[in-house]
Amino acid sequence: MNQLEQLKQYTTVVADTGDFQSIKAYAPQDATTNPSLILKAVQKPEYRPLLEKAVADANGASTEAIVDSLLIAFGVEILKYVPGRVSTEIDAALSFDTEATVAKGRELIALYEKNGVARERVLIKIASTWEGIRAAEILEKEGIRCNLTLLFSLCQAVACAEAGVQLISPFVGRIYDWYKKSTGTDYTGADDPGVQSVKRIYQYYRKFGYDTEVMGASFRNTSQILELSGCDLLTISPDLLQKLADSDAPVERKLVADANADIAKIAVDEKSFRFMLNEDAMTTEKLAEGIRAFVADSLKLKKMIEEMMK
């Protein structure tokens, strides 16, 4: 078996892309999207018709409504190629607005259901701000499952688990990027700070009995992926899926629940959450940077739609 096939024995593999052909090629269980991936996809000729249809069907709708229709169109198509779930992201501009995030989550699920997709097959993707986590807590109680993204720290992960969130996406590569830049060290294997962060979160959840799924995300190389073999899920870009498929080197399970892990339980309320984030320069910087980047790509997508509507 190649490395991808071996990895699937230990971990649920998820495709991190809006490209249907890539999804079809690697047979993942689930798929994840974000504004940057959707923007990238609609610039390809084969996906342009989805954008054109969303604009043509607008009937005077706002640009925001057209974007929502486009996100749902991609999600519906993706679900034809995966047996599991698709993650659809809420506009990162709402990351600090609990009420607006809840409203948008309900709107997106309603659009999916209107298109014949059961809510169980959708994860609403929300940034792991305090406000985002509170919104997810409300949505989860309504049977709307959430994927909390832009997650870089244990305090974010604990707050998500205590809110009853379905799944979190701790970012490996962006943590690695920050530490590499700040220390000048090119971390590899188990020494990678991004890998260590996900391992810590995984063991914390297992030790204290949380049901929230852990899905490692944002990988820079296959070494990071293989170090997290055994994680609940891993969402992987097409280029790295191909590298795994091209190798037949052995894959071992690296993550195993350890009931005796030396991890202390932490209490997370709003004050402690904000303080712990403030004390963590990496998380503070990468969370803000991630929100800005997703907002920028959402604005580019909206501008593209507005140009087509003229």
Residues tagged active-site: 125
Q: Cα separation of 67 and 91, whole Å?
A: 10
Helix axis angle, 63-78 to 281-309, nearest 10°:
100
Burial letters for 227-266: b for 16+ Cβ neighbours within 10 Å, e otherwise?
bbbbbbbbbbbbebbebbeeeeeebeebbeeeeeeebeee
From residue 255, alpha-carbon distances to 146, 198, 224, 308 in Å are: 24, 10, 12, 48
> Which tokens hold the place of 262?
């030396």
Nearest CA to 127 out of 82, 173, 159 is that of 159
- Give the bridge partners for 14, in sequence order: 30, 235
DSSP H or E stretch at residue 86: strand 86-89
Angle value at C-alpha 252, between 9 and 249, nearest 5 degrees: 95
Gap between the Cα atoms of 234 and 7, Å rounded: 10
Distance of CA 130 to the CA centre of its chain: 17
Residue 97 to residues 105, 162, 288: CA-CA distances in angstroms?
Answer: 12, 20, 15
